[in-house]
Amino acid sequence: MTLTGRLVVLCGAGAVAIGLVAWQGGLGWQDLAHLGQARNVVELDGQEIRIPHVDSTGERLAPAVPVSTAGEHTFLFEEDGEPVRLDPCMPVGWVLNPAGMPDDVEPLVHAATADLAQYTGLVFQYEGTTDEPASFDRLIVQERYGDRLAPVVIGFSDETETPDLGGATAGLGGSTSITGAYGDQRYLGAGVVVLDRDDFAELMRSQSGTALAEAVIRHELAHVAGLGHVEAATELMHDENTAITEWGPGDREGLAIAGAGPCA
């Protein structure tokens, strides 16, 4: 079985490249601090939704990871020659939908998020389980999560429910590129990881499957953090990885850069 980590750009309700319009509605104290600046909103299904503020000190939560390796890496989104990245001054919240999750996989999910934290310098914060399906057709702001961008959702599906999981594809991952509440700077948010429950069940029955299963999860989380695919077969971000279970030098360089973005 070829374990292919597929790059999926969020579309539908959580579309990227979302059009922005000025919001004229009720002002809060944070709006008053930005008098003269238009509050950004997204238009989803004909409804205008204000982009939430972030409650941040403007300082990183954890030290940046120095770039100490060099190799092939790419980014999903770029603006003016710079990658679009997650906000390092806010926790990267994530939730897990355990429906259909094979036995013994949950510890691998936690290990993979801890691994991404180590190599990006971002803080990943587990917020518990959810009943929200892991789907790319999700709203980026949801009442269940409060007035903020939805956390990363990680869950399980199959090719019947998620056709892009067909064939050898064991996982899908991506994030939405969206501006902050004010200005033009873009950030990543509302990420999704969808894992193929059947492929993972098969992996967990094989002798070397645990390492490969965690590698797939890390690959998809790297998409959430902004990394794209590469052609170098020695990198974990190769689009048709069959055996690599550790980050290559290009992966590590890309992850360090992905975690060194600006604060929102």
What is residue 11's predicted lDDT score, i.e. its pLDDT? 29
Domains annotated for the chain, with CATH where assigned, are: 4-16+55-258 (3.40.390.10)
Beta bridge partners of 174: 192
Give the residue carrying structure tokens 């959580």.
Answer: 14
What is residue 38's predicted lDDT score, i.e. its pLDDT? 65
Q: Whole-model pTM?
A: 0.86
- Are the C-beta atoms of 140 and 14 separated by less than 8 Å? yes
What is residue 119's predicted lDDT score, i.e. its pLDDT? 98
pLDDT lower than 50: segments of the chain:
1-29, 31-33, 35-36
Q: What torsion do the CA atoms of 84, 86, 88, 90 make, to the nearest 10 degrees? A: 140
Dihedral sign (CA 157, 135, 113, 9): positive
- Are the C-beta atoms of 246 and 234 separated by less than 8 Å? no
110 three-class SS: helix
Report the distance separating Cα 14 and Cα 42, nearest Å.
10
Give the residue carrying structure tokens 């990871």.
Answer: 65
Q: Are strands 186-196 and 169-179 parallel, antiparallel or unpaired?
A: antiparallel
Q: What torsion do the CA atoms of 219, 222, 224, 230 make, to the nearest 10 degrees? A: -80
Dihedral sign (CA 127, 133, 136, 139): negative
